[in-house]
Structure formats: structure tokens, C-alpha cells
Chain A
């Protein structure tokens, strides 16, 4: 898993580099400072950050072999992740209505690619969390449950740390 996460660093490193290069290239359409809704994105960031807490509490419960609490924390983590993705869909829809399409400018292409890839990663994480809940409920894990929960947790925390970087570099630092 750590090797996979190391390779994921490279993927997002490339996407973030591309965004940093092109964020000032706004030939058409709105400029980043005209469309970013910082209060809204701050709430989304907070939601994702708190999902990391609930995930680590799920891992902790799994280590204590408390399946009920593990399932509860996994459910809350999944719901927080789904809320984040919902917020991103809302944000993309708003931006599109304000004239920022995928091919409007180099800025828009790099922005949608970076944040879209991250959103896909969160969505896959939510699916993994819900699948894990179902597997635990049906008692289909033959080995150590806490190890499986911890592996999914590592992926989830990685998605969170990528957003920590995106939130600062993309939203808070002006182009």
C-alpha cells in the first residue's frame, strides 16, 4: 500500500505541477479569483479533514475488535466523503454556469483535471468504505479485520493529505 501511495504522489505531483504552470493562463472565461468560493471550499476541506478522524477511529475500533463501532465510524467516514464529493459536484456545476468549461482555458483544463482526479479518488474511497462495511457485516474477512480496515484507512488519509496541498496551492494562494 505504501508503494502504491508513493506512486500516487507522483500522479498528483504531475497534476499539481501542471496546474501551477497554467493557473495564470486565462485567455477566455473567468479568472480563478472571480469564481472561487473560499468559505464553501473551507467547509468542504473541514469535512474531509474530519473524515480522517472518523477513519482513524474506525481503525482503532477494529484493533479493539469492536465490529459495531468499526461499522459506525466507517459509515460516518463514507457519509463525510460523499458530502465532500457532493460539494465538489455543486462547485463544478456553479463554475460551469459561470462560464468555466473544461476547454475554456488552460487554467480551467488543469483545474478540472486536478480536482476531478481527486474527486474520483474520494469517490473510489467511499465505494471501498461501503464495501468494507458490507464485508465486515457478513463476516467474510478470514484474516485480521483491523489490517484490512487500516489498509483502506491509509488510502483514505492519503486522499485527505492530497486535498491539504490542493486547498492551499489552488484555492488560498492567488495566481
Chain B
């Protein structure tokens, strides 16, 4: 029953041009835009070059945004009565949520893969090949914490336009999470507490791990991004649970 559902879900998402642009093309376009400014992108950075760094950033942004958009539909569809329709079949609601997560992870995976492929094709480099795989995996797994954020926002506002807002807010999180451009000073200190900071810092860690501390762009100690990611994962999970309970009680 799950495979049929997942198949139809994919058909729906790929029919919807709007989703496709935001999930797949926008991160790729941004990488091409920012990743090919000749003045600095060919410079070495950590174990690779600046292009590799930007590739991770854009892939992380794309994966997180796709996850928010797709996971959020769990909420909006449940509230539109689809949840009741499913409740009248033998499929448990957990399978519904699980199917959506598989779809979200797949789309996030494709989105990140496109950026990585573009990176490989246009000169993103790293000395140790395993860093390609490790960065990609962290991008993909870390994106999953934003699923709870999407579900929570969807349950609070119950409309598809709210999901647009949730995805839009991700741009803001990305700016203040040190994703798009390196922040400095007080901004960087504040950024350490925003939801995308830990996620993207962890994804960059394999690239930057050997940089001595104190150097420009040197990574924070590993515990800092990890703590940020875990804390936000818990916050988003609680938000999703509370929002779901409230939404169902009002139904």
C-alpha cells in the first residue's frame, strides 16, 4: 500500500511546476550564480576550495526547503479531510506520515544531488574523496529536522499558502544561519543560535575540519553545531506535536 501511495505522491509533486522550481531549480540556480564568481570561488578553503563550500551551502538550503514544503503537506492534507479519508482505510496514519517522509527525503536528495553534480562539473574540489559522500549524507539527514518545522507550521495555519510562508521563512533562517554568506562578529554570534546554523556547519565540517582555529572561516568546535542541531531538532519536534494536538482538538 505504501509503494502505490509513494508513486502517486511523486506524480503529484512533479506535476506541480511551482514546487519543482523551488525544490530543484532554485538551489541549483543559486549555486551557479554564487559559485562561479571568478574573483574568489577558485580559492582553496580547508580541504577543498570555495566552490565546494558554496556547493554544500546551496545543497543544504535546497534540501531543507524541499523537506519543509513536502512535510508540510502532511498537515494541510490532514486538515483538509484527507486524514479522515485515510482513517477509514486499514492504513495506519503512521504509514501516511512515513510515506511523506520518504518522498520528502527523496526530493531533498535529488535537489542536493543536482547541486553536487553541478559542483563536480564546474570545479568544486576536495582533497579527500570521502568528503563528497560525508557532506552529502549530512546535508540529507540534517534536512529531516525541518520536516517537523513544516508539519508544525502547516498544523497551525492549515493552508497551503502557510507552507509558502514557511518555505519563505527558510530564506531568512538561511541568511541568519550563516548559509548564504559568511557572517562576522556580533551577527555570527547571534547566528549560532538560529536553526540552520548547526545543520550547515556540520555539513561543512568535513571540509573545514583541519583548519587551525583563529583562521578566517575556521569551524567552531564540533560540539557547537551538534548542540545547535540537536536543540532545534527537539524544539521542532515539540512544536510539531503541540501544533498537531491543538489542530486536532479544534477539528
State whether these chains interact. Answer: no
Q: Report A's interface with B, CB cutoff 8 A.
A: none
